[in-house]
Structure 1
Amino acid sequence: MALEVRNKKPLPKAETQKFENYALNIDKMLRNKLEAAQRAQVVSYKLSEGNIVFSTDAVLFELIDIALSQYFNKLSEQNCNVKVTDTFDNTVVNRTKRVYRVIKADGVRYTLNVYVTTSRFLLNGKNCMEFLEDDMPNINAIVDFLCVSNNIDLKVFNDLLVEKLTEFLSKQSTNALSAACAAITINNCREDSDKCPGCNRACKTNSVLCTKGSHWIHYHCQKLKKDEIEQLASSPDESFCCRFCKTSDTSAPSKTLNECE
């Protein structure tokens, strides 16, 4: 979720990119953004195990994220070593984290971690205070300029974000509840004597009807994933063929030419 603002120069790209082996949980990220949008519009600092964690509201975070890119891009042009690393989930689309490793000409060094999904920053290194005292005022000046030039009112934008996220997440929860109710209805509309071909136990709950074999099979015996179960629960009238029936079809010997005649 990025705030669109007008910039005279394009933002720099990371020198290094990393990719996680998981897909970002969009629903969880949006709930984190909702929580961030409801924070007070100030930067709060917290000392944690020698590191400094600071949090902002959702809109201010997006502005600081842009300001950091502009500021460190300028520093890198002034004999300052700034290494930027972006981390994405396995879709190669969602950026989850950005890391700035800074070494200035006078020896000052620190690392700033930008956590996109939670609207938080983690500052560590032996010169953290230099960042807060020397760099942060300049970054705040860029943020102020972005607000003025783009006519951004933090409270108005955060309130709008809270409204839209609450509405969207409410619809998501309603859809999930409907799917769960449909699954309960399906599971209760069968005879206790229905046996699962995977474990030979009664399919009383958590199972799906194989329309080809006219029998029920447990979700775990079919090795169904969560999204597959939700899809089946939301479409109870669609045909479904279990893995056992599919295997019997593919393993059936094919007829020879003479047998077909």
Structure 2
Amino acid sequence: MSRRSSRELVPTKIYTPSKSIQTTKNYVLNEKRTLNKIKEAANRDIDIQATLKRGNLIIQFSSAAFLQFNTCFDQYFSSNQSLKLTVHERFDLSKKLSERSISFADVSNPSKQLYRVNIFNTTCRIEVNGKQFMSFIDELSKIASQMSNDVDYKHLNTKIKEQCDFLLSSINNGHNSSVVVDNNTKISQSKAVTNAAAGSNDIKNPKVCPKCTRNCLSRSVWCNRGEHWIHYNCEKLKSEMINILENNLDTNHYICSICDIDSIDDKQVLSVNSPT
């Protein structure tokens, strides 16, 4: 197990447009890996799967369901007058969007965060955390009610996989191709392939804590599965565990709560099947 050294790190470049904070990370996304992750999400048997784990609400989607959820999510909160949203968008060096992090606060008390929603494009997953993260469930039910039952997720997932295969073939052959997914739903173009193919929740910059998005200068532990640092406080580690981590430097087997999704208790899972 490893600890974070206290050496100085180069901060990321941040600039603030009118509606969001945008950060350019010092890496370029791996297109092949990204497309394969989208294909993996398109192969999921369950289109929407919500889980409560360690004080976080984790929702995993199929690629098609993620596409529609993202659209309805943006439409719903763009008209919400009771919440103040601060959007943080992260791009790679080629300006491809890798993830979004949205902080929610009440308009009457905008400085106090209620909860945060992290949207990971490639793995088609969102994570909700914060002191009042359970209140997002009320908003979630309203967003779900706006999602059209006419969308054939199975068909759209098949089209997404076909386009991913086409792009992978083009990359292997040294060609560049644009991607459009034709379908008979209200979703006319597959952002799950264009935008999500440009994004990834892979923690490409291991210096940045994936929960608070701040640099890990100290008081951090290395996640062996995700290959990134994460703060003790963000992991809610007790002093006994911290002492174990700091005194057993020869073993690198720590897996953080974000990467340890596979150990979910089945009793906590809420599933939504694809419409037929």
The residue type equivalent to 2:100 in the other structure is R
Distance in 2 separating the partners of 1:123 and 1:143: 19
- Whichever residue aligns with residue 74 of structure 1, its letter is S
**Matched residue, 1:19:** 24
CA distance in 2 between counterparts of 1:131 and 1:79 reads 13
Taking the aligned partners of 1:104 and 1:143, their CA distance within structure 2 comes to 25
Other structure's SS at 1:46 match: strand
For 2:142, give the aligned amino acid. N
Residue 143 in structure 1 maps to residue 147 in structure 2: yes
Question: SS at the partner of 1:30?
Answer: helix
Aligned pairs (5 A) from 1:27-42: 27-42=32-47
Q: TM-score, normalised by structure 1?
A: 0.53
Once the two structures are superposed, the pairs formed by residues 76-87 of structure 1 within 5 Å of their partners are 78-87=81-90
- Give the Cα separation in 1 of the matches to 2:19 and 2:32: 26
Distance change in 2, residues 1:49/1:14 (3 Å): farther
Q: Secondary structure at the match of 1:24?
A: coil
1:163 CA displacement: 2.6
- Residue 60, structure 1, aligned to residue 65, structure 2: yes
Q: CA offset at residue 16 of structure 1?
A: 1.2
In 2: Cα distance, 1:66 partner to 1:141 partner: 13
Following superposition, the deviation at residue 29 of structure 1 comes to 0.7
* Map 1:1-261 → 2, pairs under 5 A: 14-75=19-80, 78-92=81-95, 94-104=96-106, 109-132=114-137, 134-144=138-148, 148=150, 152-170=151-169, 172=171, 175=173
In structure 1, the residue matched to 2:199 is none
Paired residue secondary structure (1:113): strand
Matched residues in 1 for 2:62 and 2:133: separation?
A: 22
Aligned residues: 154
Structure 1 residue 25: Cα displacement: 1.0
Distance (Å, rounded) in 2 between the aligned partners of 1:54 and 1:82: 20
CA displacement, residues 165-201 of structure 1 (integer Å, 9 cap, x when unaligned): 234435655x59xxxxxxxxxxxxxxxxxxxxxxxxx
- TM-score (normalised: structure 2): 0.51
Which residue number in structure 2 is paired with residue 233 of structure 1? none
Q: Deviation of residue 138 (structure 1)?
A: 1.1
1:222 aligns with: none
Contact 1:14 1:85 in 2 (8 A): no
For 1:167 and 1:131, locate their aligned partners in 2 and report how far apart those are by CA, in whole Å: 37
Secondary structure in 2 matching 1:39: coil
User: What is the alpha-carbon distance in structure 2 between the residues aligned to residue 87 and residue 44 of structure 1?
Assistant: 25
Deviations 1:69-121 (A, max 9, x none): 1111111xx232111111111112x1111111111358781100001121110
Work out the CA distance in 2 between the residues paired with 1:91 and 1:68: 26
Q: Which has the higher contact order (CA 8 A, sep 6+)?
A: 2
Q: Which has the larger radius of gyration?
A: 1
Q: Report sequence identity in percent.
A: 27
Q: Displacement of 1:39 after TM fit? A: 0.7
For residues 19 and 44 of structure 2, what CA distance do their matches in structure 1 show? 29
Q: Any idea what SS the aligned residue of 1:118 has?
A: coil
Structure 1 unmatched ranges of 5 or more = 1-12, 177-261
Q: State the match for 2:189 in structure 1.
A: none
Question: 2 CA distance for matches of 1:172 and 1:121?
Answer: 28
Calculate the aligned-residue CA RMSD, in Å: 2.3
- 1:221 aligned partner: none
Partner of 2:79, secondary structure, is helix
> What is the deviation of 1:52?
1.9
Task: Please state which structure has a larger fraction of its residues in helix.
Answer: 1
Report the Cα distance in structure 2 between the residues aligned to 1:81 and 1:96, rounded to whole angstroms.
23
**3-state DSSP of counterpart to 2:158:** helix
